[in-house]
Amino acid sequence: MKMKKLVVALACAGALSGSVGAASGPGYDDPDNWPQYHRSFNAWRFSPLAQINRDNVARLKVAWIHQPGNITHGIQATPIVVDGVLYYVSANNNVWAVDAASGRTLWRYEPKLDPLSKQTFYAAASRGVTVGRGKVFLGTLDGRFVALDQKTGKEVWSTQLTDLKSQYGALFSAPPQLAGDVLFGGTTGGDQPISGKIHAVNADTGKPAWTFEILRDDPESWPGDSRQRGGGSAWMPGTYDPRTDTIYIGTSNAAPDYFNADRKGDNKWTASLLALDPKTGKLKWARQEIPHDSWDFDSAYEALMVKGADGKDVIVHLNKSGFVFVMDKDDGKLENVWQFAQHVNWVKGIDPKTGRLIDPVYPEEGKRKLFCPNLLGARSWNHGAFNPQTGLWYSHAMEVCNEVVAGRDDPANLTAISSLSLGIDEIKLVPPPADKPHGRLDARDPLTGKVKWSIRYELPPLSSVLTTAGGLVFTGDMEGRIYAYDADDGKELWRFNAGSGLRGGPVSYATGGRQYVVVPTGLGSHAPGFLAGAYPQIKDLPGGAALIAFTVD
Amino acid sequence: MFVRALSLLSLLAGLSFNSVAVGPAAVEPAREAAPAGGQFAAPFDLADPARIEAGRKRFNKTCAGYCHGFEGVGGRAPDFKGRKDLPVAVMFETITHGRVGADVMPPWGAAFSAEQIWELVAYLRFLGTQS
C-alpha cells in the first residue's frame, strides 16, 4: 500500500495538472478533458487525473452548482468538457455551455420541439450531447439530429430523421456519436411496435448519409410480418474505434417484449452488438447475445474495450440478461461468457464457447412466471467504469425479479404515440427468491468476472460510475448520496448528500490547473417507476436537477 | 372546474372513431364522445364489478409495470390503494391528458376510449376502498 501511494505521488508530481504522465494511448489521452460520452472510445469512463486522490478526497468541497431550472426527469446526461467549457443537456433538450471553472452559463439553447413530443412515453429526458468539429450535436425528443455552433450555441443545421406519428414517438434519448465526419445514432423503440433503425448524417451539413435497418430482412429470423413491429432499436450511444474505423453499437430487445408467439425465429439483430462501417453503414459483423429474446433483455449497453489475456483488445459487453459477453473486437468471436447477476432463472447458463442459451425458460400466455433479472436488467443503462491501474471494472448491479403473465397486446390500444408493446397481461417487480431486493457496486476482473470487492445497497443505484487515476471510484445512489471509494478495496473515503438521486454520468476534468469532479444529480427516468413493486418507498424520493462541481482546495 | 370540464367535453365531442389505420393516432383526447346528458361523469356505475374488473385488467397490462406498481402501490406516483381524495373527474382528465412534474405521465387519451378510461377510473376508485 505504501509503495502504491508513492507511485501515485510521483506520477502526480510529474504531470502538469495532476495526470499520470507516463501512460498514453486510448483512455489516457487528452487527460484534462472529458471529450466524449465515455471519455474515450474504449468506454472506460476513466480520468487520468490524480490531483484529487485517496489522500485528499476527504477534503472535496463544492466549487459551484449549475441548475437548469426544470427538474422533469432530473439530469440524465454525462457532461462533455472541452478546454474549460462544460456542455450538457437538461429537460426538454435544453443545451447548456458552462464555464467549467466557475459554473457560469456561457450560452443556452432551447429548441422548438414538435408538440407531438409531449405525447411520447420517453418524454423530456436526454443523456447528453456530443462535441466536435466546432459543433455541439444533439439528438432531439422529436426525432432530429441538430448541430449547434460550439462557441455561440446557435443552430447550424437540423435534420428530421424519424416520424413520430407513424413510429410510436421514436426519438433520440441518447447523444448521437461522431465517427469522423459521420454522426450516427439510434432511437427509442425497443418496447414499441416499430422496426428499429440507426441513422447517420454528414456531421458538417446534416445531410443524411445512411440508415441501417436493425431488423434483418430474413423470413427465417422474422416469420410472417413480425419484422414490421419487432422493436430492436439502438437507444444508447455507440462508440467509434478510429484505429479500425468501426462503430460499435448495441441493440434493444425484440417486441412484443414477453409475448413471443407471433415472432418465432431468432429475431436478428435484436439483443445484439453490431460492428458497422461508418462510411457505408454496412454491417461488418454482429453478435446476437439473446436470440429470440422474450424477457426484455436489451443489449444496448456500452462496448467496453480492455486488454485480453494475449494483450489484444477484447470487447466486454454486459446486457440486461445478467451475463457479460467477452469477444474479439474484430469479428465478435466469443472468448468468454460470465454470469454477472446473482439471481438468474430464465436460463440454466450460457455456453461460454458458443453463446448457446442452455435450457431457456420462456414466458407463456396466461401463466404467471417468475423471471430474474427483471425487465430493467441485471443493471440498468447506467454505465460502468474501468481503471487500468487496478485492472478492475466497476459496475452497478440490481437484484430484482419480476412476475410476468404474458399476453397479446390489444391492437385497439396500440394506437397512441405513447403505446407500449410489452406483450403482458400483468407484471410485478418482486424480490429475488430467498433474498431481499438490492443493488451493488461490484469491482471485478472484466474478463472473468472474478470479484475483488463489492458494496451492497438497499436501493439499486442508477448512476453511472467514474474512476480516476487518483485511485478513486465515484458514484451515487437513488437517495442522493454521492460516494468516493478507494478503487483498490472499496473503502468509503468521502460522501455528500445532494438531496436528490443520481441518474447521470459523473465526470472529471482539469481547468486552470485544478481538477474537478462534476456530478449530475436529480432523480429521473422511468426506472424508479419500474421498480415500484419491489420498493414502495421510491414514491417518496424527491426529484431535482443540479449539476454539482467538486474540487479540493 | 366547470370551464375545464366544458372544454374537455368539446374536445371529446369533436373526435371520431377509428382515425388510425397504420401507426399511432396523433390526437390526444379520448376517442369516444362524452357521456350522454352533457355531464362530465361516468357513463356507467363505477361500482359495477364487471367494469372494475375490466379496469383492473387494463391497469395491469398498461399502467402497473412501468409506473404505478401492482395494485397501484409504489412507483413514482402516490399510491392508489386506500386513497379516497381523488375526484373521478381529475382521474379521467389525468389519464386522458397526462401530466408533467418531476416525472412525466404521457397522455393515454388516444390509446383508450372514454369508456375504457372510465373503467380505469372505476378500478382506481375500487383500489381507494382497499387497505
- What would the DSSP string read from start to end of A460-513? PP----EEETTTEEEEE-TTSEEEEEETTT--EEEEEE-SS---S--EEEEETT
A113, A426, A537, best to mutate vs chain B, most B CBs in 10 Å: A426
A539 contact residues in B (CB cutoff 8 A): 74-79
pLDDT value at residue A304 = 98
pLDDT above 70 for A20: no
How far off is chain B from A69, nearest CA to CA, in Å? 11
| Chain A, nearest residue to B98 by Cα | A119
pLDDT above 80 for B75: no
End-to-end, the C-alpha distance of chain A in Å comes to: 25
| Interchain pair B102, A539: CB under 8 A | no
pLDDT above 50 for B10: no
Give residue for cell 484534462. A32
pLDDT above 60 for B29: no
pLDDT above 50 for B33: no
| Angle at which helices B49-58 and B114-128 cross, to 10° | 100
The tens digit of pLDDT for each residue in A174-216 reads 999 999 999 999 999 999 999 999 999 999 999 999 999 999 9
The percent of residues in chain A predicted with pLDDT above 70, rounded, is 96
Q: What is the pTM of this model?
A: 0.92
pLDDT value at residue B113 = 93
Domains of chain B, residue spans:
44-131
Given a contact cutoff of 8 angstroms between Cβ atoms, the answer to whether A185 and A234 are in contact is yes
A261 Cα distance to chain centroid = 30
B103, B113, B120, best to mutate vs chain A, most A CBs in 10 Å: B103
Residues 6+ apart with CB under 8 A from A454: A440, A441, A442, A443, A490
How far off is chain A from B70, nearest CA to CA, in Å? 6
Higher-pLDDT residue of B12 and A480 is A480
The tens digit of pLDDT for each residue in A314-358 reads 999 999 999 999 999 999 999 999 999 999 999 999 999 999 999
B28, B31, B76, best to mutate vs chain A, most A CBs in 10 Å: B76
B63 contact residues in A (CB cutoff 8 A): none
A296 tagged catalytic: yes
- The maximal CA–CA distance of chain B, rounded, in angstroms, is 43
The pLDDT mean for chain A works out to: 95
pLDDT-derived band of residue B71, with 50, 70 and 90 as boundaries? confident
| Chain A, nearest residue to B57 by Cα | A425
Torsion of CA A301, A304, A309, A313, to 10 degrees: 120
CA-wise closest residue to B20 among B31, B29, B9: B31
This model of the complex carries an ipTM of: 0.84
A92, A116, A119, A371, best to mutate vs chain B, most B CBs in 10 Å: A119
pLDDT-derived band of residue B55, with 50, 70 and 90 as boundaries? very high
How far off is chain A from B24, nearest CA to CA, in Å? 4
The percent of residues in chain B predicted with pLDDT above 90, rounded, is 47
The percent of residues in chain A predicted with pLDDT above 90, rounded, is 90
| Interchain pair B24, A417: CB under 8 A | yes
Within 10 A of A519 (CB to CB), how many other CB atoms are there?
Answer: 25
Between CA A190 and CA B62 the distance in angstroms is: 16
All cell numbers assigned to B82: 386506500
pLDDT value at residue A527 = 86
The tens digit of pLDDT for each residue in A506-527 reads 999 999 999 999 999 999 888 8
Within 10 A of A217 (CB to CB), how many other CB atoms are there?
Answer: 10
Between CA A424 and CA A414 the distance in angstroms is: 13
Given a contact cutoff of 8 angstroms between Cβ atoms, the answer to whether A482 and A474 are in contact is yes
B69 contact residues in A (CB cutoff 8 A): 532-533, 536
Distances (CA, A) of A509 to A57, A97, A488, A514: 15, 15, 22, 8
| Interchain pair A119, B64: CB under 8 A | no
Within 10 A of A545 (CB to CB), how many other CB atoms are there?
Answer: 25
The tens digit of pLDDT for each residue in A128-184 reads 999 999 999 999 999 999 999 999 999 999 999 999 999 999 999 999 999 999 999
Give residue for cell 472499496. A490
| Interchain pair A544, B102: CB under 8 A | yes
pLDDT above 60 for B30: no
| Three-point CA angle A510, A128, A130, nearest 5° | 70
pLDDT-derived band of residue A532, with 50, 70 and 90 as boundaries? confident
pLDDT-derived band of residue A278, with 50, 70 and 90 as boundaries? very high
The tens digit of pLDDT for each residue in A495-511 reads 999 999 999 999 999 99
Give residue for cell 447548456. A96
| Chain B, nearest residue to A119 by Cα | B106
The tens digit of pLDDT for each residue in A213-242 reads 999 999 999 999 999 999 999 999 999 999
Q: Which of B62, B68, B106 sits opposite A119 (nearest CB)?
A: B106
Distances (CA, A) of A541 to A122, A318, A511, A523, A538: 20, 28, 34, 8, 5
Among A85-94, A139-148, B27-36, where is mean pLDDT lowest? B27-36
pLDDT above 90 for B5: no
Distances (CA, A) of A516 to A56, A171, A548, B43, B131: 13, 33, 10, 60, 50
The alpha carbons of chain A give a radius of gyration, in whole angstroms, of 22
The tens digit of pLDDT for each residue in A94-104 reads 999 999 999 99
Q: Which of A416, A425, A524 sits opposite B24 (nearest CB)?
A: A416
How far off is chain B from A117, nearest CA to CA, in Å? 10
Between CA A129 and CA B95 the distance in angstroms is: 33
Question: Strand runs (DSSP E) across A361-498, as ranges?
Answer: 368-371, 385-387, 392-399, 401-406, 424-430, 438-444, 451-457, 466-468, 472-476, 481-486, 492-497
End-to-end, the C-alpha distance of chain B in Å comes to: 30
Torsion of CA A25, A243, A197, A528, to 10 degrees: -10
Distances (CA, A) of A142 to A123, A215, A237, A363, A402: 9, 22, 17, 34, 32
| Interchain pair A418, B108: CB under 8 A | yes
Give residue for cell 509503495. A3
* Catalytic site residue from A296, A442, A477, A488: A296
CA-wise closest residue to A154 among A181, A136, A140: A136
Highest mean pLDDT (candidates A506-515, B13-22, B65-74) = A506-515
How far off is chain A from B13, nearest CA to CA, in Å? 18
Given a contact cutoff of 8 angstroms between Cβ atoms, the answer to whether A189 and A143 are in contact is no
Given a contact cutoff of 8 angstroms between Cβ atoms, the answer to whether A192 and A231 are in contact is yes
Domain B44-131 CATH class label: mainly alpha
pLDDT-derived band of residue A21, with 50, 70 and 90 as boundaries? low
pLDDT above 90 for A16: no
pLDDT value at residue B22 = 44
pLDDT above 60 for A15: no
pLDDT above 50 for A58: yes
Between CA A278 and CA A200 the distance in angstroms is: 8
| Interchain pair A422, B116: CB under 8 A | no
Between CA A164 and CA A141 the distance in angstroms is: 9
Question: Strand runs (DSSP E) across A30-134, as ranges?
Answer: 46-47, 61-66, 80-82, 85-90, 94-99, 105-109, 130-132
pLDDT value at residue A109 = 98
Q: Which of A407, A534, A537 sits opposite B61 (nearest CB)?
A: A407
How far off is chain A from B58, nearest CA to CA, in Å? 8
Q: Which of A424, A524, A531 sits opposite B61 (nearest CB)?
A: A424
pLDDT-derived band of residue A31, with 50, 70 and 90 as boundaries? very high
